[in-house]
C-alpha cells in the first residue's frame, strides 16, 4: 500500500490539531503550579523559614519547615487568596475534618461532601482551632485528590507531633 503526500499532510495536520491543545493545557497547568508554589515559598520566607517538603494540588499548596516546625498553606480561589501558617510546637493534634450535607436524589438520601479541612487543635485550650481548607463545594464541583492530600498531611504532621 502506497501512502501519498496528501494523506500524509492531512494525517500530520490532524495530529497537530490534537497534540497542540493538550500541550498548551499541560503547559498552563505547570505554569500555574509554579506560581502557587512560589507564593507558598514567599509565605515561608516572610517568616524566616524554608519549605523542606511541599505539595501543590489544584489551587492549593501546603509545605512544612522541619527545622522551625511550621506548616504553611496557600489557597487561591476566584475571589480570594488565603495564606496561613501553624507552629507545630503550639499544636496538640491534627486531623482531617469532613463536612457533609444530605441531598435527596431520586428518592434516596445521599451524603455530599461540602468541605474538607485540615484542622489543628492548639495545646492552649483558649486558642481556637486553625483550619486549612483543602476543598469547598462552593469553589469546586468535585474532588481532585484533595482528600488523599489532606489525609497524607494529617499523618505527616501527627508524626511530627509524636516526635516532639
Phi-psi region of 145 (alpha: psi -120 to 50; beta: other; left: phi over 0): left
Mean pLDDT for 7-24 is 87
**Residue 3 banded pLDDT, cuts 50, 70, 90:** low
> For residue 4, what are the CA distances in angstroms to 1, 126, 134?
10, 79, 54
Question: If you search the block for the grid coordinates 509554579, which residue do you land on?
Answer: 34
Burial class (CB in 10 A: 0-12, 13-18, 19+), 23: exposed
* pLDDT of residue 2 exceeding 70: no
pLDDT digits (tens, 9 = 90+) for 110-156: 888 899 999 999 988 788 899 999 999 888 878 888 999 999 999 99
Task: Please name which of 80, 98, 105 lies closest in space to residue 151, comparing C-alpha atoms.
Answer: 98
**Residue 78 banded pLDDT, cuts 50, 70, 90:** confident
**Residue 40 banded pLDDT, cuts 50, 70, 90:** very high
Amino acid at each position: 500500500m502506497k501512502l501519498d503526500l496528501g494523506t500524509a499532510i492531512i494525517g500530520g495536520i490532524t495530529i497537530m490539531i490534537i497534540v497542540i491543545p493538550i500541550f498548551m493545557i499541560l503547559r498552563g497547568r505547570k505554569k500555574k503550579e509554579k506560581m502557587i508554589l512560589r507564593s507558598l515559598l514567599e509565605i515561608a520566607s516572610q517568616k524566616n523559614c524554608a519549605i523542606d517538603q511541599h505539595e501543590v494540588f489544584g489551587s492549593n499548596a501546603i509545605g512544612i519547615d522541619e527545622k522551625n516546625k511550621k506548616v504553611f498553606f496557600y489557597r487561591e480561589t476566584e475571589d480570594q487568596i488565603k495564606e496561613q501558617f501553624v507552629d507545630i510546637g503550639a499544636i496538640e493534634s491534627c486531623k482531617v475534618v469532613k463536612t457533609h450535607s444530605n441531598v435527596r436524589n431520586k428518592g434516596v438520601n445521599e451524603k455530599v461532601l461540602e468541605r474538607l479541612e485540615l484542622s489543628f487543635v492548639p495545646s492552649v485550650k483558649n486558642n481556637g482551632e486553625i483550619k486549612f481548607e483543602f476543598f469547598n463545594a462552593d469553589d469546586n464541583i468535585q474532588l481532585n485528590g484533595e482528600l488523599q492530600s489532606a489525609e497524607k498531611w494529617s499523618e505527616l504532621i501527627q508524626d511530627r507531633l509524636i516526635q516532639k
